[in-house]
Amino acid sequence: MSSILTGRGSKRGRGLDWKSRKHILMGAAQGLHFIHNFPSRPPLVHANIKPSNIFIDEHGSGCISEWGLMVFASNTCRASPLHSSTVFSSKMEYATTSAWHGYRAPELLTGKEKATQESDVYSFGMVLLELVTDKEMDDEASEGETMRMAKIGVMCTKECPHERPKMNQVASMIGELL
């Protein structure tokens, strides 16, 4: 997997510093929180959170990409993809695990469950843990800060979906480290 966020696929010295990575993660957390809180029934999910789906805008902020594509890639979508208003259709069903390409939450491993906001949080937590374990320890971040970020990732990846924090809580915890 190639991602500038995690430093994989980039030449040594071309990766992002820890401060930039935190800023990008914060933007991605806020974007996922926005998707989760959009007034829709059923609640919206991303269903494909992974480092390569986190982009950097012209201000250096993290942005979530590929939202909605998993719905159209899935055979369970009942809405016509020809009209843009169908993106928010209440008739639309969400991607099943057969189309899942990000980090799968434990509840999705059987292939019987559909992606949920809780499974998005799990995937985001895995991205966070990947970033923390990829991080060079000789930069400006303290060991305590690194451990706090790892703890946020662990909270997001709890086995029981209902024990995972909501994305607004995740964004708030990351914000305390900026």
- Per-residue pLDDT tens over the stretch 69-85: 555 444 444 443 433 33
Q: What are phi and psi of 111, to 5 degrees?
A: 85, 0
What per-residue confidence (pLDDT) applies to 35?
92
pTM: 0.75
Q: What kind of architecture, by CATH, is found in domain 18-175?
A: Orthogonal Bundle (1.10)
Task: Give me the residue label for tokens 């190639």.
Answer: 2
Q: Which two tokens stand for residue 58?
A: 């012209």
- Per-residue pLDDT tens over the stretch 17-73: 788 888 999 999 999 999 999 988 888 888 888 888 898 888 888 888 876 555 544
Q: Which two tokens stand for residue 88?
A: 């928010």
- Give, as one character, the DSSP assignment of residue 54: E
- Per-residue pLDDT tens over the stretch 107-158: 988 888 888 999 999 999 999 998 888 756 555 567 788 889 999 999 999 9
- Give, as one character, the DSSP assignment of residue 56: E
Q: What is the mean pLDDT of the chain?
A: 76
Distance CA 148, CA 155 (A): 11
- Give, as one character, the DSSP assignment of residue 105: P
What per-residue confidence (pLDDT) applies to 58?
87
